[in-house]
Amino acid sequence: MTWHILYRGSLSSCNYRCDYCPFAKTRNTREELRADAVELERFVAWVERQDRRIGVLFTPWGEALIRRHYQKAMLRLGDMPHVYRVAVQTNLSCDTAWLSAADRESVALWLTFHPGETERAAFVAKCCALTRLGIRFSVGVVGLREHFDDIDALRAALPPAVYVWVNAFKRVPDYYQAAEVERIRRVDPYFDLNRRYHPSRGKACEAGHTSFTVDGTGTVRRCHFIAEPIGNIYDGADLGARLEPRPCTNAVCGCHIGYVHRPELALYELFGDGLLERIPARWPIDEVTAAADRRARALLVHRSGEPDEGSEDLPGDATAPSVDSDHVGEVRTHLLVERDERSAREVGAKVPIPKPAQ
Ligand code: SF4
Ligand code: SF4
């Protein structure tokens, strides 16, 4: 069994000042940064002692990679044979030279571009530097209306192999018009997954079973959205015994780092080993496959009983196979085959079929 661990230490400062930032923008004193470094060192040493396959995602309150102790932790974790992935959410304002020492198989980045805080050309240049270094990364932007041109330009400037995701601005209900959704889908075919709050109460979630969060004191919680502790990695108890499948107790889940662990959404299948850094397993994909994939997921969500909030027109056919989390690939294939058959029929209607020889 693989553990997906989200680590959020006490670091809370950031060198950017994004208006839409959901986190407290504070300044850390030297003592606080030293304490954060000690906590991080302790966590890394704990991971080193584990004997199972582990993926770590750093989800800091602020910007971690401008701090040497996080850079060192990434390199050290990445060199551990049982750590298949170590990733971090970052604004990429750090120097990238330290990544030349990184294990290219395990170290990955979840980048967010913040228009207004940095120049697009400079950000793209840093992304290209990462590509030259062979570092895996995804790039995202908050989908505010005033960012749309930047999002398109970023997509055009980055190589097709780079997945660009868009986080929906959900604080304002019904923020997007249909044409705007279409525009964003052309950049991020999986935008609809993020555009909704997924009803979650009573539904299965890997959070608390194979995925959990750890804070600077070692306290374990199932996810960042449910405050109740379920253990502590330093208390000497068998953590594995405290991790078990349990239904979600929150009404909804609207954040990628949470709902990605809902089996019903089949996102482990979509992201594979790119789960933590948010890179789909099959990327890039063509527009037709992306549309079929989107429709398959819309059908999956629809049949799970969640209100679809108009996120995607559902397939009109009643012939698609019934769906559960194992079937999204099957449904995607079904929709692609159906599309091929339809175009074959359309071509067949136009091209006269030669009569067989008498
Ligand atoms: S870069 Fe991230 S953490 Fe920093 S202010 Fe912007 S959104 Fe907040
Ligand atoms: S669905 Fe979201 S809120 Fe609920 S347990 Fe999973 S990650 Fe946490």
Name the residue range of residue 346's domain.
287-350
Last residue of a domain, one of 274, 304, 335: 274
Last residue of a domain, one of 252, 274, 296: 274
pLDDT reading at 353 higher than 60 = no
Tell whether ligand 1 has an atom less than 6 A from the beta carbon of residue 63.
Answer: yes
pLDDT reading at 288 higher than 90 = no
Tell whether ligand 1 has an atom less than 6 A from the beta carbon of residue 23.
Answer: yes
For residue 127, the model assigns a pLDDT of: 98
Q: Which CATH number covers residue 246? A: 3.20.20
Nearest-atom index, ligand 1, CA of 17? 5
Tell whether ligand 2 has an atom less than 6 A from the beta carbon of residue 86.
Answer: no
Tell whether ligand 2 has an atom less than 6 A from the beta carbon of residue 223.
Answer: yes
Same domain, 242 and 342: no
pLDDT digits (tens, 9 = 90+) for 52-75: 999 999 999 999 999 999 999 999
Tell whether ligand 1 has an atom less than 6 A from the beta carbon of residue 114.
Answer: yes
Choosing from 225, 246, 268, 275 the residue with most ligand 2 atoms within 8 A of its CB, the one to mutate for a pocket test is: 225
For residue 140, what are the CA distances in angstroms to 104, 115, 158, 223, 260? 21, 11, 12, 21, 16
pLDDT reading at 358 higher than 80 = no
Same domain, 171 and 257: yes
Tell whether ligand 2 has an atom less than 6 A from the beta carbon of residue 267.
Answer: no
Q: How far apart are CA 253 and CA 258, in angstroms?
A: 7
Same domain, 335 and 239: no
Q: What is the mean pLDDT of the chain?
A: 88
Asked if residue 268 is part of any domain, the answer here is yes
Contact in structure between 284 and 229 (CB atoms under 8 Å): no
AA identity, residue 216 = G
For residue 113, the model assigns a pLDDT of: 98
Same domain, 164 and 118: yes
Asked if residue 269 is part of any domain, the answer here is yes
Question: What value does the mean pLDDT take over residues 125-129?
Answer: 97
Same domain, 198 and 101: yes
pLDDT digits (tens, 9 = 90+) for 161-216: 999 999 999 999 999 999 999 999 999 999 999 999 999 999 999 999 999 999 99
Asked if residue 357 is part of any domain, the answer here is no
Last residue of a domain, one of 230, 249, 274: 274
- ∠ CA 115-138-89, rounded to 5°: 75
pLDDT digits (tens, 9 = 90+) for 247-281: 999 999 999 999 999 999 999 999 999 999 999 99
Would the pTM count as exceeding 0.75?
Answer: yes
Asked if residue 346 is part of any domain, the answer here is yes
Q: How far apart are CA 329 and CA 73, in angstroms?
A: 36
Same domain, 11 and 136: yes
* DSSP bridge pairs for 83: 54
Residue 338: band (very low, low, confident or very high) from pLDDT cuts 50, 70, 90: low
Contact in structure between 60 and 26 (CB atoms under 8 Å): no
Tell whether ligand 2 has an atom less than 6 A from the beta carbon of residue 151.
Answer: no
Domain count, the chain: 2
Tell whether ligand 2 has an atom less than 6 A from the beta carbon of residue 248.
Answer: yes
Ligand 1 center–CA 21 separation, angstroms: 5
Ligand 1 center–CA 117 separation, angstroms: 9
Choosing from 259, 260, 265, 301 the residue with most ligand 2 atoms within 8 A of its CB, the one to mutate for a pocket test is: 259
| Closest Cα to atom 4 of ligand 2 | 248
Same domain, 208 and 337: no
